Structure 1
Amino acid sequence: FEEQASDDPESSALARIAAHKRAKYAGVKRHLERQGWKVHLSALVYGSLGAVPAGNHKVLTEHLGLLKRDAKRLDRQLSVACIQSSRRIWNLHCSQHRARQHQAPGGSRAAETGGTPPRTGRR
């Protein structure tokens, strides 16, 4: 959970990531401009749980020239893809964790994983 210091959309983590991406590729932009290319640097960012910053819509409509309807649809599809991918990653992590628990010799990891140690022959 990220607590924003203000209501300013530029203070969010996704806005900072977008600014970082633009700064990261600024050198490539300058290089291409020196070669005579007209370059516009934009960043599309999405949160792992589908969060979409408002700046994405501007990139899609103004910088890439998509119709508002198409931009909204693409934004939603990309957001859904992020959610689905995050779920797949989480499910894979959980299945690998369960597999490691079942492979542990003689309950040696029981305390680490919060599991129950295996029963001995006594009752």
Structure 2
Amino acid sequence: MIKDSIKRILKRIRSDKIMNRIGSGKIVYFENPLEDIAIKFVPGKSGKPGKYYAKHYGRNEYEIDFNSSCVVMGVMEGRQISKTKYFNYHSIESDHWNGSISFSDYNQRCG
């Protein structure tokens, strides 16, 4: 019971850290561990909204919508990662992305 409470508190701290960096207009790299997707937020310039990019195993970086479930889950359940881990993420095999999933399958999962 105490262990679950600590996990919830840590999850909230990680989520707040990601949201604070996004709100302050900094580039943020974070991971959606539930779907093994790395996400990058790049702030917009001159008052324009920022953009989100994603990577997963076997795919290069691509742009995703700010209201995508991947982004929302990444902020709420995720953790911040390093720039190096983000740029190498396409070569990290996982349970979800093993290279055999087609783009149309991905759109059904996270679009």
Shorter chain as denominator, the TM-score bin is under 0.3
Provide TM-score, normalisation by structure 1: 0.22
- As a proportion of its length, which structure holds more helix? 1
Provide TM-score, normalisation by structure 2: 0.24
- As a proportion of its length, which structure holds more strand? 2
Higher gyration radius (CA): 1
